[in-house]
Amino acid sequence: MKKSPFFLLLIIVGILGTSATPFAPFSPPEKKRYSIVKPSRLFLKGTTNVNKFTCTCEDQFIYQELEVETGDAASRFQNARLGMTTRKFNCKNGKMDRDLQKALKAEEHPKILIDLVEARHSPEDLKNPDAGWFDVEARVNLTITGTTKERRIKAQAKRISENQFALKGSESIQMTEFGIDPPTAMFGLIKVDDLITFHFDLTVQVDPIGFN
Amino acid sequence: MQKFLLKGFVAGIILLVISYAALWILVNFFPDMAEQYYNPIFDMEGDKTYLYFLHPFILSFALAWFWRRFKSLFHGPFWWRGIEMGLVYGLIATLPSMWITFSSLAVSFPLVMTWLLYGVFQGVIVGIVYAKISP
């Protein structure tokens, strides 16, 4: 389990970029802007040796810009960076919030960064608005606490309207892989398990803003 | 004075081992109860951690004085005298403090009951130790 979820927003953007463009080996770079809109949900789940916990991401993702080159079954991206504020995770438990922020070194690294590099998908699914849910795979660079790892993420997407897509799935990461010490409590007797899973159920709005 | 310190130190070491064992038992056999410690009112990871591990010695030296002062009031075999002292300690010190804890802090009744029982248990252990080594 080596993946994180937030870049999945960016997958959607890639899909939308593709859907709005004729299929060719790779189109010229196209600028788009995207935003995550209601009723999106993004949360992480983890376990300790005594319980389970859920932390909801309450960050607001206002319109951001990126560049996309669209190909037959893939899209390549530049400046497709999504930053999530570490302090915006709400575990509904003040101590847990504090421990999570401390583990993620929120002071030093206030954002979790996801750089979308490439997204792969079936061109037939994108052409067909009645295709329902289809599989997507993205290559991303995930940066947590200053450590960057490349990941290949699988998710499911669905076209909702001309400029809106839904994206859902879950991905897990091992905290230690990013140099994060899993939080502990009660003198170390309560331990958060290394593996945490991000769940996402997102609606993404994408609009073209110009051409190069 | 040297004997007093030695007895207090011995009893404190025993309580320290028991206190950590009690936490271990709590986490491993009563996870629902242990989960309640994941609460902002508890600060068991910060700079004050060492104070928790000093509490067995605070208690052992306080009860060492109590035992020296009142041991003549306890009669019978050493284990009975120890139990009796533990019950007295529980009634005089632990029960009132747990009462006010429950009435003023956002902690559950079962959690406070574990503290009450644990306090009495500590008193009994120290009482038995003192009744044995300082009859």
Q: Encode pLDDT of A52-106 as tens digits.
A: 999 998 887 767 777 778 777 787 877 777 778 889 889 988 888 888 898 889 9
Q: Domain range for residue B16?
A: 2-133
Q: Which of A91, A181, A189 to mutate to test the interface with B (most CBs of B within 10 A)?
A: A189
Which residue in chain A has the smallest CA separation from B37? A186
The helix/strand/coil state of A94 is helix
Count how many domains chain B has.
Answer: 1
Q: At what angle do helices B109-133 and B2-29 cross, to 10 degrees?
A: 150
Q: CA distances (Å), A36 to each of A64, A163, B11, in order?
A: 10, 12, 61
The pLDDT of residue A16 is above 80:
no
Residue B71 pLDDT class (50, 70, 90 cuts): very high
Distance, CA of A37 to CA of A167 (rounded, Å): 12
Tens digit of each residue's pLDDT (9 = 90 or more) over A133-160: 888 888 888 899 999 999 888 888 888 8
Q: Across chain A, what does the average pLDDT equal?
A: 79
Does B23 contact A at CB distance below 8 Å? yes
CB distance A96–B38 less than 8 Å? yes
CA distance B12 to chain A (A): 19
Q: Are A11 and A155 in contact (CB under 8 A)?
A: yes
Tell which residue, B28, B38, B24, has the closest CA to residue B108.
B38
Cis peptide before A39 (omega within 30 of 0): yes
The whole-number average pLDDT for the span A160-175 is 85
Residue A25 pLDDT class (50, 70, 90 cuts): low
Partner residue opposite A185 with nearest CB, options B24, B31, B37: B37
CA distance A74 to chain B (A): 46
Q: What is the pLDDT of residue A210?
A: 55
The whole-number average pLDDT for the span B99-121 is 94
Which neighbouring-strand residues pair with A154? Answer: A137
The answer to whether the complex's ipTM is over 0.95 is no
Does B44 contact A at CB distance below 8 Å? yes
Q: CA distances (Å), A94 to each of A99, A111, B42, B45, B102, in order?
A: 9, 20, 11, 14, 21
The pLDDT of residue B119 is above 70:
yes
Tens digit of each residue's pLDDT (9 = 90 or more) over B2-14: 788 888 899 999 9
CB distance B39–A95 less than 8 Å? yes
Which chain A residues touch B if contact means CB-CB below 8 Å? 48-51, 93-96, 98, 184-187, 189-190
Task: Give the range among A93-107, B13-27, B42-56, B121-135 with minimum mean pLDDT.
Answer: B42-56
Which residue in chain A has the smallest CA separation from B51? A187
Domain ranges of chain A: 7-211
The pLDDT of residue B61 is above 90:
yes
The helix/strand/coil state of B4 is helix
Residue A212 pLDDT class (50, 70, 90 cuts): very low
Residue A11 pLDDT class (50, 70, 90 cuts): low
CA distance A185 to chain B (A): 6
Distance, CA of B95 to CA of B118 (rounded, Å): 11
Q: What is the pLDDT of residue B83?
A: 96
Q: Which CATH number fits domain A7-211: 3.30.530.20, 3.30.450.90, 2.40.110.10, 2.40.128.110?
A: 2.40.128.110
